[in-house]
Amino acid sequence: MVKIALDGPAGAGKSTVAKEVAKRLQMTYVDSGAMYRCVTYLAIKRHVTMQDETGLSNLANAMQLMFIPSEHGQVVHLDGVDVTDAIRSSEVGALVPLVAKHARVRECLVEKQREMARTAHSVVMDGRDIGTHVLPDAVVKVYLTATLDVRARRRHEELVRQGFTGSVADVMKLLHERDEIDGRREIAPMRPASDAVVLDTSCLAIHEVTAMVVSLCQARM
Ligand code: C5P
């Protein structure tokens, strides 16, 4: 069984790279950020506040999640409903770090993530604390990063395809706020593991990053 951890801030290219690496190496891809996004999506729908740790952890405990591989990557089913696009909205993006701060929400989701890694034959998991906390024994740990400007431009392109009408500056502000909360929180803050390979993707194309990560994995598998 092989575990690969891919961490880093939003817009560094983690999920695109993780999906491609999983496809090439025939591994299961687990998008841990989607799990925090699903709790946030449910909280908005059910009027649970972002301060209500008990309410949020009840949602995290009860939700039924399925990641289904598809032609374009992965489809996320939450309680039987396809929420793949809905959880990527800018509203969910702005609120998700407030949900992810809560210890009881994290405990519940980390348990689900470890369970997914146990049942998969081999796994590529992306997130913020995979190398440091969720899968500390991962055979390959990569921390992808890029300048805030580059990350904001990449995320802006993605959001515009979904109908977003804001500017790159708006996205930059959102990403900066999210990074601050994710990096400063008390529990499992976003940071590279001491044994992670740190890759700055600012001047690299996604296919170049993917090739680097695949060769790292092949060298260690
Ligand atoms: O990766 P993605 O941008 O979808 O993650 C959304 C949010 O979920 C992050 O900004 C962070 O607040 C939270 N998250 C986390 N730990 C993870 C994955 C995501 O706290 N392992």
Q: What is the CATH number of the domain that holds 174?
A: 3.40.50.300
Q: What atom in ligand 1 is closest to the CA of residue 34?
A: 4
Q: What angle do CA 63, 171, 72 make, to 5 degrees?
A: 55
Residue 218 lies in a domain: no
- Give nearest CA residue, ligand 1 atom 15: 128
Residue 125 lies in a domain: yes
What is the pLDDT confidence band of residue 120, given thresholds at 50, 70 and 90? Answer: very high
* Res 164: pLDDT: 86
List residues bridging with 69 in a β-sheet: 74
- Exposure on the CB side of residue 31, measured as CA atoms within 13 A: 27
Decide if pLDDT at 141 tops 90: yes
Residue 171 lies in a domain: yes
16 labelled as ligand-binding? yes
Identify whether the C-beta of residue 13 lies closer than 8 Å to the C-beta of residue 157: no
Q: How far apart are CA 118 and CA 197, in angstroms?
A: 24
Structural domain of residue 172, as residue ranges?
Answer: 3-213
Residue 128 lies in a domain: yes
Q: What is the DSSP string of 79-148?
A: TTEE-TTGGGSHHHHHHHHHHTT-HHHHHHHHHHHHHHHHHSSSEEEEESSIIIII-TT-SEEEEEE--H
* Res 82: pLDDT: 97
Total count of domains within the chain: 1
Decide if pLDDT at 72 tops 80: no
What is the pLDDT confidence band of residue 70, given thresholds at 50, 70 and 90? Answer: confident
Enter the pTM of the model: 0.96
Beta pairing, strands 28-31 & 3-7:
unpaired
- Give nearest CA residue, ligand 1 atom 4: 33
Residue 182 lies in a domain: yes
pLDDT mean over 108-135:
97
15 labelled as ligand-binding? yes
Residue 152 lies in a domain: yes
Q: In one letter, which amino acid is 219?
A: A
9 labelled as ligand-binding? yes
Mean per-residue pLDDT of the chain: 95
Q: How far is the CA of 121 from the centre of ligand 1 (A)?
A: 24
8 labelled as ligand-binding? yes
User: Which helix (H) or strand (E) is 67 found in, with range?
Assistant: strand 65-70
Residue 26 lies in a domain: yes
* Res 221: pLDDT: 84
List residues bridging with 78 in a β-sheet: 65, 81
pLDDT mean over 160-185:
93
Q: In one letter, which amino acid is 220?
A: R
The interface pTM score, or ipTM, of the predicted complex is: 0.99
pLDDT mean over 89-106:
95
Torsion from C-alpha of 211, 29, 87, 43, nearest 10 degrees: -140
Rounded percentage of the chain residues whose pLDDT exceeds 90: 91
Give ligand 1 pocket residues (Cβ under 6 A): 10, 32-33, 36-37, 96-97, 100, 127-130, 178, 182
What is the pLDDT confidence band of residue 163, given thresholds at 50, 70 and 90? Answer: confident
Residue 35 lies in a domain: yes
* Lowest mean pLDDT, pick from 27-36, 37-46, 154-163, 194-203: 154-163
* Res 214: pLDDT: 97
Q: How far apart are CA 5 and CA 160, in angstroms?
A: 29
